[in-house]
């Protein structure tokens, strides 16, 4: 009898706790509206500080709403999101990049994210927010650009360059950069750090530094449609040349330290083992949170131009606005939108600027107060205005994840062995991509 009672009790407890667990994230608690917010950047200290502050400020101002953050690490975040969407269990609000929109929105036949046309079309948001024009899928706004944006530049350690007699302002072309890296490499220091691993940066740094600059696109010319198999651009002669150039710099010059993760590159830069680091505005906040004094020894120059077949190409690196979507499954869509809208407000943009990111409101960034208080971050704005050609983003097509994976695998092969035949590998990648686009 005792055993039966205990058994029944356990079953009842399990059932109740399962029901509570299943409903915990969705139901409102004590009259409060609960919203979940998923982001891939929460594991990075400056972003965490800002997101925490954004949410606590908003929660304090809106006592009827409680926003909770879910922040898996960058690489596992995307897999988690896929699984969550497929199981109808994603967060109410999700932060991502513009190139992710199509891939995840297409996971459900009726679309995963809420249509935001009625909230954005005809408003000042369309022109004032960087990246807002890339928030469309099939002509409809499904995302809102309200956090921050960034492009890349070359950070350098002033002390290391001074010791080696390298003047950063003299680095105008990729050949200058290559020579400087060689000069800076000795037993203790390497010119710069390069990823050769399963990390997506193994492609993106090579692409934004040199490949896309001369070829205009890895996937399609200009990364513009029509997105047909015959227009796959990866084996373009300029891309092959760029791959061989990068391969030589890493494996012949040995002026680059080959690493597994971007965080290792950053760590070595902070420890004075790497002279240059290709990074975005977020790196300012990261460096500051690591050691504010370190910032004194950090300088920034724009990405160098590329010379190819007698022609000079201005850099046109990728632009990464962090945009936000609302799930169609969100129970409180209006409240979620209110929060998104608030993130684009001046108050929130000021909080965002604290992490060293460039806030995405153009009107806010161009204010004299911002220019004066965020000099280093403002340099990125200057790069875009004066040094870089129009930025290029990955095409917004659902197949982009698969195309990116093919490129990761191809570049891993090219940059891990000096004997690797870049032309043949990129030709294979092209064929694989064509299969994807034909499917």
Partner 1 sequence: MSDSRIFNKFPTGFLFLLIIVILVFLIYPISKTVLMSIQYWYLPKKGPNTTFVGLKNFFHLFSDKAFLSSLGKTFIYITVTVFFRFVLGYLVAFLLDLKFKGRALARALIIIPWAIPEVVACLVWILMYDQEFGIINYIITNFHILHENVRFLEDPGTALPAAMVVNIWKGFPFVAIMILAGLQSIPKELYEAATVDGASGFQKFRNITVPMLKPVSKVVFLLLIIWTMKDFAIAYLLAEGGPSRATEILTIYVYKTSFKYFDFGVAAAGGFVLLLFSLLFTVFYMRDLESA
Q: Which residues bind partner 1 (CB under 8 A)?
A: 1, 3-4, 7, 75, 79, 82-83, 103, 106-107, 109, 196-198, 257-260, 264, 268, 397-399, 401-402, 405, 408-410, 412-413, 416-417, 436, 439
Shortest Cβ distance from residue 204 to partner 1 (Å)?
Answer: 15
Across 264-288, b (16+ Cβ under 10 Å) vs e yields: bbbebbbeebbbbbbbbbbbbbbbb
CA 151 – CA 134 distance, rounded (Å): 15
Shortest Cβ distance from residue 292 to partner 1 (Å)?
Answer: 25
CA 281 → CA 46, 287, 397, 416, distances in Å? 11, 10, 27, 29
Using the minimum distance from each CB to partner 1, give the nearer residue, 1 or 60.
1
Shortest Cβ distance from residue 206 to partner 1 (Å)?
Answer: 14
Using the minimum distance from each CB to partner 1, give the nearer residue, 1 or 372.
1
Shortest Cβ distance from residue 263 to partner 1 (Å)?
Answer: 12
Shortest Cβ distance from residue 414 to partner 1 (Å)?
Answer: 9
Using the minimum distance from each CB to partner 1, give the nearer residue, 185 or 197.
197
Shortest Cβ distance from residue 259 to partner 1 (Å)?
Answer: 7
Contact call for residues 329 and 88 (beta carbons, < 8 A): yes
Using the minimum distance from each CB to partner 1, give the nearer residue, 36 or 197.
197
Shortest Cβ distance from residue 83 to partner 1 (Å)?
Answer: 7
CA 328 – CA 138 distance, rounded (Å): 17
Locate 220 and state its tokens: 């399609």
Using the minimum distance from each CB to partner 1, give the nearer residue, 265 or 298.
265
Using the minimum distance from each CB to partner 1, give the nearer residue, 75 or 89.
75
Locate 288 and state its tokens: 């500051």
Shortest Cβ distance from residue 258 to partner 1 (Å)?
Answer: 6
Shortest Cβ distance from residue 196 to partner 1 (Å)?
Answer: 5
Choose among 300, 269, 280: nearest CA to 376. Answer: 300
């Amino acid at each position: 009898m005792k055993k039966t009672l205990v058994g029944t009790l356990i079953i009842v407890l399990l059932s109740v706790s399962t029901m509570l667990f299943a409903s915990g994230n969705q139901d409102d608690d004590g009259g409060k509206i609960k919203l979940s917010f998923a982001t891939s950047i929460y594991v990075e200290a400056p972003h965490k500080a800002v997101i925490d502050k954004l949410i606590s400020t908003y929660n304090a101002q809106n006592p009827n709403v409680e926003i909770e953050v879910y922040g898996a690490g960058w690489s596992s975040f995307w897999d988690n999101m896929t699984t969550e969407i497929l199981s109808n269990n994603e967060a109410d609000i999700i932060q991502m990049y513009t190139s992710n929109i199509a891939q995840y929105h297409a996971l459900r036949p009726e679309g995963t994210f809420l249509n935001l046309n009625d909230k954005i079309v005809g408003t000042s948001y369309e022109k004032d927010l960087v990246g807002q024009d890339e928030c469309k899928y099939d002509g409809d706004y499904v995302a809102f650009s309200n956090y921050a944006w960034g492009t890349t530049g070359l950070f350098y350690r002033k002390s290391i360059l001074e010791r080696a007699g390298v003047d950063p302002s003299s680095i105008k072309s990729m050949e200058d950069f290559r020579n400087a890296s060689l000069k800076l490499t000795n037993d203790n220091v390497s010119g710069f750090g390069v990823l050769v691993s399963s990390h997506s940066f193994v492609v993106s740094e090579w692409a934004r530094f040199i490949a896309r600059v001369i070829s205009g696109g890895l996937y399609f010319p200009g990364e513009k449609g029509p997105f047909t198999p015959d227009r796959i651009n990866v084996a373009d002669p300029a891309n092959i040349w760029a791959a061989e150039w990068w391969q030589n710099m890493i494996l012949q010059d040995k002026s680059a330290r080959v690493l597994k993760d971007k965080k290792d590159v950053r760590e070595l830069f902070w420890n004075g083992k790497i002279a240059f680091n290709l990074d975005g505005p977020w790196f300012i906040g990261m460096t500051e949170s690591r050691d504010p004094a370190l910032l004194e020894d950090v300088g920034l120059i724009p990405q160098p131009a590329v010379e190819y077949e007698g022609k000079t190409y201005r850099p046109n690196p990728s632009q990464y606005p962090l945009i936000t979507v609302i799930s169609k499954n969100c129970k409180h869509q209006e409240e979620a939108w209110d929060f998104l809208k608030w993130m684009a407000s001046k108050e929130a943009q000021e909080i965002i600027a604290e992490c060293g990111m460039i806030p995405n409101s153009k009107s806010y960034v161009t204010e004299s107060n911002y220019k004066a208080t965020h000099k280093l971050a403002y340099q990125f704005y200057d790069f875009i205005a004066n040094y870089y050609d129009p930025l290029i983003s990955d095409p917004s097509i659902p197949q982009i994840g698969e195309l990116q994976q093919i490129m990761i695998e191809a570049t891993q092969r090219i940059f891990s062995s000096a004997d690797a035949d870049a032309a043949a590998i990129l030709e294979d990648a092209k064929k694989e991509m064509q299969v994807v686009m034909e499917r």
